[in-house]
Structure 1
Amino acid sequence: MRLRLVPETTRMNFFRMDRIPLLFSMIAVVASLVLFAIVGLNFGIDFRGGTLIMAETPEEQPVGDFRDVLTELDIGEVAVTRVSDPAGRERHAVLMRIGITDEDPDAQKALVTQVQETLNAAFPGISYLQIDNVGAKVSGELVTAGILAVVSAIAAILFYIWLRFEWQFSVAAVAALVHDVALTIGIFSLLQIEFNLSIIAAILTIVGYSLNDTVIVFDRVRENLRKYKTKDLQDVLNLSINETLARTVMTSGTTLIALLALYFLGGEVIRGFTFAMIWGVVVGTYSSIWIASTILLRLGVKRDWSKPSAGAGNQFANIDA
């Protein structure tokens, strides 16, 4: 007997109150943009520049002691956080972030050496698990490259769907992707989770995952438009979403199981990435079902491909079954 998270055949009406999810999403996107403009993102070392040091001591040391030792060096902004071990092993590790003080790589290397010598003297037996240095110039280039990567991906997707389907499908799919990216930026701004290069990778993955869901639904919509030539577009969309719902829920559910395992057991280094992916899978599935399809319903689509489009392309009447 096969496992089914939803029945094989469903008859849910996803457009009975279609204005509510659309209005909710519009409010959420605006709120995300406002949060980004006012609060901003908690940029990591990748984007701000500086030094990140993860160290472990034989016995637990108060975080305040690390902060006091580093502050006395007068090396700029300092942040120290405890690193927990998701596997439950006893571990005395801390993550130290030191703000950039010099664009010269040699000076930055000397700074790291000075910090290590000071920590070695203050905490005998300390070992270093990770040391990363990013200069101010490099961090600025990474910000530009990250923004360009996301914008380029969305533009390429717009062009691809436009060629494969019709412009209405393209606009609906890209609107859903922009919705997903905006809400991801908003949640990171709200929770002030560190935003680094791995989050850019997560956003690009979210874009691809959400697009995959949307294209599967749109493929079924196009098939059903040709099959049911006189059926109302809303009924065609409902039918198409219901026919792909079992696949969507199973794919999203199994992906979430893997991501939740990574989030709780994968350690501190990838926690931000996995959080972004978990959020993206949930939001991407939601937008594929409600946002993209609702926008497509509003725009309308051409149904008789043997005839030229007549303006809006929403041709329902006078079509033979």
Structure 2
Amino acid sequence: MGFRLKLVPSDTRIDFFRWQKLTFGLSALMMIASVIVLFVNGLNFGIDFRGGTTIRTEATQPVDVAAYRAALSGMDLGDVSITQVFDPGFRADQHVAQVRISAQDGVESVSPETIRAIEAALQQVDPSITFPSVESVGPKVSGELIRTAIYAVLAALVAISIYIWLRFEWQFSVGAIVSLVHDVLITMGVFALFQIRFDLATVAALLTIVGYSINDTVVVFDRLRENLMKYKKRALREVMNLSVNETLSRTVMTSGTTLLALIALLVLGGDVIRGFVFAITFGILIGTYSSIYVAKNFVLWLGVKRNWNKDDPETQEGRKKRVKSPFEGAEEV
């Protein structure tokens, strides 16, 4: 007999509505807190959205942020941000920093001459310093990228709502959209709270979260629709609990295996993709939570139309109408 790994027993009977008010209130509180943090702190836009130039430095000597700043202080560069980059994958003699120069009024980006002057000034501080990459984005381009990113997320939400509406009923569509807005808003709130860099890669991560979350929600909704047709006499809450329990093993296995790869990337992938990987990792966790505790709570609150055209196998009428198989009760030869 082959070995089958089961992280969740096949006959779970968890009451997911036991703490319904607590989970629903927690979700509402997190969404409100995310909106407040977004307005108060704002997002830490990367160079893609802010415009300007980012110079990545690498040296064998430890980074001296104060010395770097002093070397650039007399160059009239405007807003300059210097941050040291830490990563467990770096060598012992590998010290990395980012020099971020915001775009100035009337200037698309820092000129090549200015970049060479910046590099020369930093090499006066540390002769071993090198410059692996230089990225420049103009203010006009960054503004267009912000609008395009917003349109992309909104278009994804609209397309998904139409798909859910056509495949199920409008109550399911409302529950799915509220769940997706919940996931995206709270993820952005976490980015604003911890001032994690928000760039185009993060937008791609948000779209990935939307797709992953809706996939998980559709699986639960699909099983719920089947059970609503099978168990017409059961209460809606009971059928929902049954549906989530029946798909719980699939949810845990899918999310768990995905998280294994993401955690490896989060630890070993380096600082360049850390924001992207963190967004997807957090999004999968919050998306799994919302599929179970947010989407179906809205469906329960709105109610759904029950299909009474199919007999319930657990009722006396359903048992009477069952057709007995000619092989039922036969002895094995």
Calculate the TM-score normalised by the size of structure 2.
0.88
SS at match of 2:7: coil
Partner of 1:24: 26
Say yes or no: does 1:159 pair with 2:162.
yes
Aligned-partner residue type, residue 144 of structure 1: R
- Alpha-carbon shift at residue 209 of structure 1 (Å): 0.6
- The answer to whether the 8 A contact 1:120-1:126 is kept is yes
User: Using the alignment, how far apart are the partners of 2:107 and 2:309 within structure 1?
Assistant: 65
- The answer to whether the 8 A contact 1:108-1:133 is kept is no
Partner of 1:289: 292
- Alpha-carbon shift at residue 88 of structure 1 (Å): 4.9
Partner of 1:82: 84
Q: Relative to 1, partners in 2 of residues 1:127 and 1:254: Cα closer, same or farther, differing over 3 Å?
A: same
Aligned-partner residue type, residue 154 of structure 1: L
Matches within 5 A, 1:190-205: 190-205=193-208
Matches within 5 A, 1:269-308: 269-304=272-307
Partner of 2:9: 7
Q: Aligned match of 1:96 in 90, 95, 99? A: 99
User: Using the alignment, how far apart are the partners of 1:189 and 1:169 within structure 2?
Assistant: 30
Question: Which has more radius of gyration?
Answer: 2
Partner of 2:66: 64
The count of residues paired between Structure 1 and Structure 2 equals 309
Matches within 5 A, 1:1-321: 1-90=3-92, 91-101=94-104, 103-105=106-108, 108-304=111-307
- Alpha-carbon shift at residue 306 of structure 1 (Å): 6.1
CA RMSD of superposed structures (Å): 1.8
Aligned-partner residue type, residue 25 of structure 1: S
User: Using the alignment, how far apart are the partners of 1:162 and 1:270 within structure 2?
Assistant: 35
- The answer to whether the 8 A contact 1:225-1:236 is kept is yes
Partner of 1:316: none
- Alpha-carbon shift at residue 178 of structure 1 (Å): 0.3
SS at match of 1:93: strand
User: Using the alignment, how far apart are the partners of 2:167 and 2:118 within structure 1?
Assistant: 56
Deviations, residues 109-148 of structure 1 (Å, cap 9, x unaligned): 3332322232234322321122110101111111101111
